[in-house]
A and B are shown apart, each in its own frame.
Chain A
Amino acid sequence: MTEWIELGSVTAIPPRGARCVNTPSGKIAVFRTAEDQVYAIENRCPHKGGPLSEGIVHGASVTCPLHNWVFDLATGEAQGADEGHVQTYPVKVDGGVIYIAPDVLMQMAAE
């Protein structure tokens, strides 16, 4: 298994914000919470395809900018009355730098 892949510094993402990582088969949204926890999910709402990285981040959740679905960033589950799930990806922070699991990118490249 290869090394974890560096995405960039935690500070490149504003607190309570998100940025995208472009891959051959789509965008991964990388989130930073108010408490500097970092999460990565698929940048696509299962409802109507809304770009989740553009949503408002609150706690460890994000609200989709198109129709206000709310997702738990850790589990990818839709909250409240809505039912749906977004793919989550393992990330880790080491020394202020965000890394994503290598198999994620390999898997996405293979799709």
Chain B
Amino acid sequence: MEKLVVIGAGMASGRALEHIFEEAPGRFDVTLFGAEPRGNYNRLMLSPVLAGEKAYEQIITHDAEWYREHGVQTRFGETVTGIDRARKVVISAGGETPYDKLIVATGSAPFIIPLPGKDLPGVMAFRDLDDVNRMVEVSKRTGSKAVVIGGGLLGLEAAAALNARGMEVVVLHLMGHVMERQLDPAAGYLLQRDLEARGIKVHCKAQTKAILGEERVEAVALEDGTVYGADIVVMAVGIRPETRIAVDAGLHVERGIVVNDQMVTSDPDVLALGECVEHEKIVYGLVAPLYDQAKILAKTLAKVDAAFRPVQTATQLKVTGVSVYSAGDFADAEDREEIVLRDANSGIYKRIVLKEDRVIGAVLYGETADGPWFFDMIRKGTDTRDMRATLIFGQAYQGGAALDPMAAVAALPDDAEICGCNGVCKSAITGTIASKGLTDLDGVRAHTKASASCGSCTHLVEKLMAITLGDSYNPAAVKPMCPCTEHDHGTVRRLIVAKELKSIPAIMQELEWKTSCGCAKCRPALNYYLVAEWPGEYEDDNQSRFINERVHANIQKDGTYSVVPRMWGGMTNPKELRAIADVADKFAIPAVKVTGGQRIDLLGVKKEDLPGVWADLNAAGMVSGAAYAKGLRTVKTCVGSDWCRFGTQDSTGLGVRLEKFMWGAWTPAKVKLAVSGCPRNCAEATCKDIGVICVDSGYDIQFAGAAGLDIKGTELLCHADTEDEALEIIVALTQLYREQGHYLERIYKWAKRVGNDSIKAAVVDDLDKRKLYYDRFVYAQQFAQVDPWEERVNGKDAHEFAAMAEFGLPVAAE
């Protein structure tokens, strides 16, 4: 295999590697250097991470699993210090690494204005995750202040995100209006007004004089004498190509590393792409052209003819609640005409710039749905003479079509670009939906990458799905968890972590619940999410639990309860059976039944008798079987090698061990386990949430079965050689489900939603991750493994079991 070394683990090189493995599988042995101590992630999404709307894990584009699968040796956190082109080696702290082909993808560095005070602690760029983490840290202090220097795309995203974090934010911008490269003054004004309405101060024509401070940054002074207090100063004035290593290596470098149409530098064995390169005197900073470069570079390495052509780009600002779209060239000039539409009340501004009857630029503010349509016309040079009068109103008004946004998307030509980041056109999306049988947005993202980068085209993709799938597309599947909120379960779980929300009132406040106190749907879900997320910190809210979990018994149709003690692995003994019989006699319990989970159910217990029943069962050594819980229920077993002539392993022993390890754990929905001692499967493990089939060589771990509303056989997760390994995998799997599952979503539904591959990657293939999940489960168990019956026998929640007052004659039998 040829040795391919890649310097830089950014978005361009990540995409290039994907294409290389597609174009020339098995041809290259790849070593990937990255200066950041982590792999490729979606840098475009740092703004949502900074705003707390996304977690870092959600913007990773390539994880350890992917690198391993493709045999990529990763050297993250290791800076390359030199290239010796004569000997074809790159030099780093780890020594020399030889290459046959080299890709330079060093990206860009933020430009730091040489102001006095620029080196003070607290002055930072907004470029990588470390910057984000530093900013978040400072934003946690109440009343902290940020000054952002630079009112371009990046600076404004940073300002909005810091504002969302609760900081007092001032934006200093040298030019007359914000985002002057993408917006004309009118749109810039509207944007500034919207930002100021959020409490962000925007100071245009600001000449920064100095950054002030003793130990660390304290303020920023302007030439006009204004001084703004600051706990951090974010420099977002621009980037410059990072070319030092290429210059030192003697490659041809102008503003960027010069490449030809094939992405090859002045050395035929050295290729380059991304923000560090210059092609026909242009340096690109937006992601779409860089992804094009990645395609071309991969083809060149695979010896396929291809040429990079300069591309038009469109820009959208990723600030929640602000819609801005700009594309092409919108400067005024003699030979140009413009069409402008304004609606002051709704804050809408649209401007189309025409040259010789063709659209060459568009700026849209407030309503941007027609952006892609205009962009398509710019790229194609469409003649607009026939629609001149209605052009500005957008696509819906052309050719008498209905005023229906669906119709507008339906009318887009097949090659219209839907996802600018990933260069995905309409037919690629509709075609993949049909050929792969996709039915949800995540599926479309996974297969086409459309809307998988910045996400601003999500609404278009959803409309395309609705058009392609008709009524079978049910966007309601991703809709609010209940009428109290706009958020779905996934978003709420994510924000609980991102915003460190630790109580139900905090969630309701921060996520803008529409009711003061939630409802019977959302409160139990929120309570579970908090229990799962903050073990030991969050105090369980009993009043947000369903009655069964509040009184640790199952309510029956007549208001009585059923009581099920644990029988570990379905094993019992005369002493336990006698105690159960005695309790049934003593409290005149009308029905005793053997359950499907290998234990005994006492039915028809009066609520006020519950503590007495529990006390007697406790005295015989029995604890709550949690037959009422969204939590671990039963572990069903067969008698295994202890008794059975076919048994291969001690299935009963493993079942008992699992139940003793895992009892008490709360989960999104109930969890039932089973262990069968041989493939004859007498414990019916293959329709359980998690099942184990013992075989001669060890344990086959099955999961995602169902035998309720749905009937579904399990799927094989993996094989474990030892009982210890089986236990660790099952525990890690349960913890992953605890952290990812939506409330009331059984394991099989969760697995279908997130995909078996992602589950295997986390708990089977990656031993470190498995250990992490296992440890988190074990940590949480110390707070969960308390017998709720014993607590209540000892007086907890006594109010639950006694009337508040009694009047008159004794209560008539109901």
Contacts and interface: CB of A to CB of B under 8 A. Distances in A.
Nearest to B797: A14
Contacts of A66: 555, 557
B812 A58 contact: no
A95 interface: no
A7 interface: yes
B131 to A, nearest CB: 41
Interface in B534-562: 542-547, 550-551, 555, 557-559
Interface stretch (B516-524, B581-589, B670-678, B772-780): B516-524
Nearest to B551: A54
Contact of B546 (A12, A34, A56): A56
A51 interface: yes
Contacts of A26: 811-812, 814
Interface residues of A, number: 40
A15 interface: yes
Interface in A14-33: 14-17, 19-27, 30, 33
Nearest to B558: A49
Interface residues of A, dominant DSSP: mixed
Contacts of B546: 56, 65
Contact of A58 (B515, B559, B807): B515
B547 A23 contact: no
Interface stretch (B136-144, B453-461, B798-806): B798-806
A65 B547 contact: yes
A27 B811 contact: yes
B808 interface: yes
Contact of B520 (A5, A7, A58): A58
Given A55-B547, A58-B515, A24 B807 contact: yes
B389 interface: no
Contacts of A59: 515-517
B807 A15 contact: no
B543 A56 contact: yes
A109 B519 contact: no
Contact of A7 (B555, B557, B805, B809): B805
B542 A105 contact: no
Contact of A14 (B523, B799, B806, B807): B799
Given A17-B543, A34-B516, A55-B547, A65 B804 contact: no
A54 B808 contact: no
B807 A105 contact: yes
A44 B191 CA distance: 57
A87 B479 CA distance: 36
B808 A23 contact: yes
B611 to A, nearest CB: 16
B524 A56 contact: yes
Interface residues of B, dominant DSSP: loop
B660 to A, nearest CB: 31
Nearest to B505: A34
A26 B806 CA distance: 11
Contacts of B550: 54
Contact of B804 (A19, A24, A54): A19
Interface string A58-86: 11010101101010000000000000000
A55 B523 CA distance: 12
Contact of B517 (A25, A34, A50): A34
Nearest to B483: A80
A54 B555 contact: yes
B803 A20 contact: yes
Contacts of B814: 26
A21 B807 contact: yes
A101 interface: no
Contacts of A24: 807-812
Contacts of A56: 519-520, 523-524, 543-546
Contacts of B811: 22-24, 26-27
A78 to B, nearest CB: 14
A25 B809 CA distance: 9
A93 interface: no
A68 B807 contact: no
A57 interface: yes
A35 to B, nearest CB: 8
A83 to B, nearest CB: 19
B545, B799, B810, B814, most chain A CB atoms within 10 A: B799
Given A13-B799, A65-B547, A105 B517 contact: no
Contacts of A23: 807-808, 811
B804 A30 contact: yes
B559 A51 contact: yes
A68 B520 contact: yes
A90 interface: no
B515, B543, B557, B811, most chain A CB atoms within 10 A: B543
Contacts of A68: 520
A106 B191 CA distance: 68
Contacts of A65: 546-547, 555
Interface string B227-253: 000000000000000000000000000
A22 B559 contact: no
Contacts of A34: 516-517
Contacts of A13: 799, 804
Given A14-B542, A25-B812, A63-B519, 6 more contacts: A17-B543, A19-B799, A21-B804, A22-B805, A23-B807, A65-B546
7 contacts: A14-B542, A17-B799, A23-B808, A30-B804, A59-B517, A63-B520, A66-B555
Would you list the 9 A-B pairs with minimal beta carbon distance, nearest first? Answer: A63-B520, A19-B804, A16-B543, A56-B520, A54-B547, A24-B808, A24-B809, A65-B547, A51-B559
Interface of A: 5, 7-8, 12-17, 19-27, 30, 33-34, 48-51, 54-59, 61, 63, 65-66, 68, 70, 105, 108-109
